[in-house]
Amino acid sequence: MPDVFEYPLTVGDGEIDEIGRANNVAYVAWMQAAALAHSAAQGWPAERYRQMGIGWVVRSHRINYLQPALAGDELLVETWVAALKKATSLRRYRILRRRNRQLLAKAETDWAFVDYATGKPMRIPVEIARSFQVVER
């Protein structure tokens, strides 16, 4: 799998706010979907984490909006793991308009690895950490 994962999507009418642009909540949903798809492509779908009773939770999101996304826009969410520590991971994103690769937003999510039963942070298992290449970008 490539180190930078590409997740395509089309902006839906239901994602548009009152001024005609994609709502900020849509961006968070796209980031989440891209992260889950990247994890699944690396052999770690959500169901596998659930079966083990461990997995990722979001600690924070940061998004810098550069250009608006509009209804019907075909987008590409690029995502990669930028840092991997004992119990946390920093994932970055670039959201692009596919037709001209115009950068619409840059974002990042800080994830924590937790035991689902207790909600407490835990060390990322080696087999999971080895599944993701850290990309310094």
**71-129: pLDDT as tens digits:** 999 999 999 999 999 999 999 999 999 999 999 999 999 999 999 999 999 999 999 99
Rounded to 5 degrees, what angle do the CA atoms 36, 41, 42 make?
A: 100
Across the range 26-31, mean pLDDT stands at: 98
Q: What is the pLDDT of residue 137?
A: 78
Q: What's the rounded Cα separation, in Å, for the pair 77 and 95? A: 5
25 torsion bin: left (phi>0), alpha (psi -120 to 50), beta (else) = alpha
Nearest by Cα to 91 from 49, 25, 43, 36: 36
Domain segments of the chain as ranges: 5-129
* CATH class (in words) of the domain with range 5-129: alpha beta
Q: What's the rounded Cα separation, in Å, for the pair 48 and 55? A: 9
Our measurement of the distance from residue 52's CA atom to the centroid of its chain's CA atoms, rounded to an integer in Å, reads 21
